[in-house]
C-alpha cells in the first residue's frame, strides 16, 4: 500500500526530496546525508550518465546543478509518486514526471524506479533507474 504523501510524520524522505526537486528548492539539501551514495542509471539508453553519481553531499550538489542545466532546464512536473516501505528504512518509489528534456529538445514523460535508504531523517542512499523516456 503506498504511503500517504499528505501525512508528514509517515512520509519517507524521498517523497520530500522529489517534491523539493520539482519546486527547484534549495531545501532539498537539508534532507540529504553528508555521505550520500547517489547514482542514476538509464535502461537501454545511450546517453552518457557517468556524471550522474556522487559519494557525498558536495558531489550531490554538483549533480543537481548539472541536472538543472543539461536535463531539466525548465524544471519538471511530478505526474505520479508511489512509495512503498521495504522495512528497515528502505523504500521503493515509482516516479512519473513530465519535463522539457534538453538532450532531445522536446517535452517528454518518464517513469523511473528509485530505491532509497534514510537514517535520522536524511536520505543516505539513492539509486534511480530511468526505465522510459517517451516523447510527447
Whether residue 8 is predicted with pLDDT greater than 80 in this model: the reply is no
* Domain count within the chain: 1
Residue 93, domain member (yes or no): yes
Residue 5, domain member (yes or no): no
Whether residue 84 is predicted with pLDDT greater than 50 in this model: the reply is yes
Residue 19, domain member (yes or no): yes
From the list 132, 61, 127, 47, the residue with the least C-alpha distance to 98 is: 132
CATH number reported for the structural domain that contains residue 41 in this entry: 3.10.450.50
What tens digit of pLDDT does each residue of 14-52 get? 999 999 999 999 999 999 999 999 999 988 777 788 899
Q: How many CB atoms are located within 10 Å of the residue 1 CB?
A: 6
What tens digit of pLDDT does each residue of 103-129 get? 889 999 999 999 999 999 999 999 999
Q: Is the dihedral of CA 30, 31, 34, 40 positive or negative?
A: negative
The model's pTM is 0.88
Residue 35, domain member (yes or no): yes
Q: Is the dihedral of CA 98, 23, 19, 34 positive or negative?
A: positive
Q: What is the pLDDT of residue 51?
A: 93
Residue 39, domain member (yes or no): yes
Domain hosting residue 85, numbered range: 10-135
Q: What is the pLDDT of residue 5?
A: 41
Grid coordinates in use for 136?
A: 510527447
Residue 120, domain member (yes or no): yes
Q: What is the pLDDT of residue 47?
A: 75
Q: What is the pLDDT of residue 7?
A: 40
Residue 104, domain member (yes or no): yes
What tens digit of pLDDT does each residue of 51-61 get? 999 999 999 99
**Cα distance between residue 97 and residue 112, in whole Å:** 9
Q: What is the pLDDT of residue 104?
A: 87
Amino acid at each position: 500500500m503506498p504511503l500517504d504523501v499528505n501525512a508528514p510524520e509517515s512520509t519517507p524522505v524521498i517523497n520530500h526530496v522529489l517534491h523539493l526537486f520539482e519546486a527547484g528548492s534549495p531545501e532539498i539539501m537539508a534532507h540529504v546525508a553528508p555521505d550520500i551514495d547517489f547514482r542514476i542509471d538509464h535502461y537501454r539508453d545511450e546517453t552518457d550518465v557517468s556524471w550522474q553519481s556522487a559519494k557525498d553531499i558536495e558531489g550531490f550538489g554538483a549533480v543537481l546543478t548539472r541536472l538543472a542545466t543539461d536535463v531539466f532546464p525548465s524544471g519538471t512536473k511530478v505526474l505520479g509518486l508511489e512509495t512503498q516501505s521495504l522495512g528497515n528504512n528502505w523504500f521503493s518509489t515509482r516516479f512519473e514526471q513530465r519535463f522539457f528534456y534538453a538532450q532531445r529538445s522536446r517535452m517528454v514523460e518518464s517513469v523511473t524506479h528509485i530505491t532509497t535508504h534514510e537514517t535520522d531523517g536524511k536520505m543516505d542512499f539513492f539509486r534511480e533507474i530511468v526505465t522510459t523516456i517517451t516523447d510527447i
